[in-house]
């Protein structure tokens, strides 16, 4: 799959951008604060409808402009599609697929898949559990539309349930919870089961990728589930186990006024050589583990969709030593379309000669000479 053309207007500091891309390697280079990550962000939004920077859509509109437009031509499984996303300060967000408006924006996710590598990925290892849940949720949302809809439903029910718990603290009418708990258990089990299944696959893939990047190190991932033990495999067992656990914590939940168990409390344990990387890993080990997770994500998407996702590598080369940089380049060669950013062309000296190179300066992109001429 790939993105053949990107055409944006008023996207952050990029007032106009209209370029075709190479189906393999695209290099974006330029000084700091010129607009490289902004271009990566626009491509990411085409895949997921949302920014990875977790900002409101309005922030994407160029200062002083009223609207932003991101248009792209994409190809997936040999089918060409046009995606157009517009946000305006007054009229919100509109998405068009092949010129037809999409009512449920979630339906647009997965038309093209993207995997982003960025320095902030370290948070998946170092940060709190929400970062790790986000990693797995975004991956599942990109590859399984039913998961996205289950997650939206779960979040709605969780909010209601938390409001009710606060209400019950005053009224003591615990029977109010019953109808909500049925749905709460149902969606919780759907989500945890899918996360667990996905992570078992990711675990194997990440282990393999990590072995290639970091000899002698064994990377392992495990889903830490608050509602059932991983051994209880089927949905029915999961629901029974969860309902029983909920009964045991009911009084505590009422006292605290929020839900103490469920997919919103789960975590992912990441170990290197059986030692928890979050607490005991070196900076370099954490960085490599984060890259291995992203490589595994790309492999997972390939296994589901039969095509590699578009790889967006924002500013990660500057963080890697020569050996790891070379290993990573070697591993990426077979992957599909790649966008990679950096501050100088020298960072990409070893990369494929067929790259299309863009020089980014003050929000404008100029096509630069070929890599082979820059060596
Ligand atoms: N809504 C907006 N309107 C106009 N400019 C914006 C907007 N949002 C961000 N910018 C500006 O865009 C500029 C480029 O940001 P970007 O993150 O793309 O830089 P970069 O080239 O990736 O730099 P670095 O090498 O430091 O990562 C920044 O100076 C930022 O202030
Ligand atoms: Mg940047």
What's the rounded Cα separation, in Å, for the pair 186 and 150? 10
Nearest CA to ligand 1 atom 5: 13
Among candidate residues 81, 70, 68, the one with its CA nearest the CA of residue 2 = 81
- Per-residue pLDDT at 230: 58
Query: Does 164 share its domain with 46?
Result: no
Query: Does 188 share its domain with 321?
Result: no
Query: Does 299 share its domain with 312?
Result: no
Judge whether residue 334 has pLDDT over 70. no
- Per-residue pLDDT at 351: 76
Q: Is the CB of 62 under 6 A from ligand 1?
A: yes
Q: Is the CB of 10 under 6 A from ligand 1?
A: no
What's the rounded Cα separation, in Å, for the pair 2 and 5? 9
For residue range 120-147, what is the model confidence (pLDDT) as tens digits? 999 999 999 999 999 999 999 999 999 9
What's the rounded Cα separation, in Å, for the pair 109 and 267? 24
End-to-end CA distance of the chain: 29
Q: Check if the beta carbon of residue 198 is closer than 8 Å to that of residue 136.
A: yes
Nearest CA to ligand 1 atom 17: 37
For residue range 18-30, what is the model confidence (pLDDT) as tens digits? 999 999 999 999 9
Judge whether residue 87 has pLDDT over 90. yes
Give me the percent of the chain exceeding a pLDDT of 90.
75
Query: Does 292 share its domain with 249?
Result: yes
Query: Does 142 share its domain with 286?
Result: yes
Give the model's confidence band at 369: pLDDT under 50 very low, under 70 low, under 90 confident, else very high.
confident
Judge whether residue 297 has pLDDT over 70. yes
Query: Does 170 share its domain with 189?
Result: yes
For residue range 27-84, what is the model confidence (pLDDT) as tens digits? 999 999 999 999 999 999 999 999 999 899 999 999 999 999 999 999 998 999 999 9
pTM over 0.85, yes/no:
yes
Among candidate residues 287, 290, 105, the one with its CA nearest the CA of residue 206 = 290
Give the model's confidence band at 239: pLDDT under 50 very low, under 70 low, under 90 confident, else very high.
confident
Which of 278, 305, 332 is a domain's end point?
305
Mean pLDDT of the chain: 91
What's the rounded Cα separation, in Å, for the pair 67 and 87? 6
What's the rounded Cα separation, in Å, for the pair 213 and 210? 5
Query: Does 300 share its domain with 329?
Result: no
CA angle 96, 1, 357 (to 5 degrees): 95
The atom number, within ligand 1, closest to the CA of 64 reads 3
Write out the residue range of the structural domain in which residue 328 sits. Answer: 1-113+307-375
32 CA to middle of ligand 1, Å?
Answer: 8
For residue 344, the domain's CATH number is 3.40.50.300
The atom number, within ligand 1, closest to the CA of 31 reads 25
Query: Does 147 share its domain with 294?
Result: yes
The atom number, within ligand 1, closest to the CA of 34 reads 21
Which of 253, 273, 305 is a domain's end point?
305
Give the model's confidence band at 9: pLDDT under 50 very low, under 70 low, under 90 confident, else very high.
very high
Query: Does 49 share its domain with 154?
Result: no
Which of 255, 278, 305 is a domain's end point?
305
For residue range 258-296, what is the model confidence (pLDDT) as tens digits? 999 999 999 999 999 999 999 999 988 999 999 999 999
- 233 or 363, greater pLDDT: 363
Query: Does 248 share its domain with 126?
Result: yes
For residue 295, the domain's CATH number is 1.20.1050.90
- Per-residue pLDDT at 374: 39
- Per-residue pLDDT at 238: 83
For residue range 204-235, what is the model confidence (pLDDT) as tens digits? 999 999 998 887 899 999 999 988 765 655 66
Query: Does 143 share its domain with 286?
Result: yes
- Per-residue pLDDT at 375: 36
Count of domains for the chain: 2
């Amino acid at each position: 799959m790939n993105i053949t053309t990107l055409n944006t207007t008023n996207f952050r500091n990029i007032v106009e951008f209209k370029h075709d891309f190479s189906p393999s390697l695209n290099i974006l280079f330029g000084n700091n604060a010129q607009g490289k990550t902004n271009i990566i962000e626009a491509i990411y939004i085409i895949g997921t409808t949302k920014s990875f920077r977790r900002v409101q859509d309005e922030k994407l509109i160029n200062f002083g402009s009223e609207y932003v437009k991101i248009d792209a031509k994409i190809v997936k499984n040999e089918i060409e599609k046009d995606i157009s996303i517009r946000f305006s300060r007054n009229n919100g967000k509109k998405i068009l697929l092949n010129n037809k408006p999409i009512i449920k924006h979630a339906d647009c996710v997965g038309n093209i898949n993207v995997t982003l590598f960025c320095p902030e990925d370290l948070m998946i290892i170092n940060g709190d559990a929400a970062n790790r849940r986000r990693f797995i949720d975004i991956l599942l949302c990109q590859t399984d539309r039913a998961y996205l809809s289950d997650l939206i439903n779960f979040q709605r029910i969780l909010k209601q349930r938390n409001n009710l718990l606060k209400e019950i603290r005053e009224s003591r009418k615990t029977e109010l919870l019953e109808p909500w708990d049925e749905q709460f258990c149902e969606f919780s089990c759907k989500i945890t089961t899918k996360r667990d299944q996905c992570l078992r696959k990711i675990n194997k893939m990440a282990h393999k990728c990590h072995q290639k990047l970091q000899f002698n190190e064994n990377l392992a991932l495990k889903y830490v589930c608050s509602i059932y033990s991983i051994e209880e495999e089927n949905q029915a067992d999961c629901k029974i186990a969860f309902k029983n656990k909920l009964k045991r914590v009911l009084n505590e939940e009422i006292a605290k006024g929020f839900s103490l168990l469920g997919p919103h409390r789960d975590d992912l344990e990441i170990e290197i050589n059986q030692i928890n990387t979050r607490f005991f890993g070196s900076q370099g080990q954490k960085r490599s583990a984060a890259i291995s997770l992203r490589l595994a994500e790309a492999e997972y998407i390939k296994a589901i969709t039969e095509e590699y996702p578009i790889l967006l590598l924002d500013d990660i080369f500057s963080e890697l030593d020569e050996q790891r940089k070379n290993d990573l380049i070697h591993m990426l060669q077979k992957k599909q379309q790649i966008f990679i950013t950096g501050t100088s062309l020298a960072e990409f000296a070893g990369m494929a000669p067929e790259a299309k190179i863009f020089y980014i300066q003050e929000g404008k992109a100029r096509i630069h000479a070929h890599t082979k001429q820059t060596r």
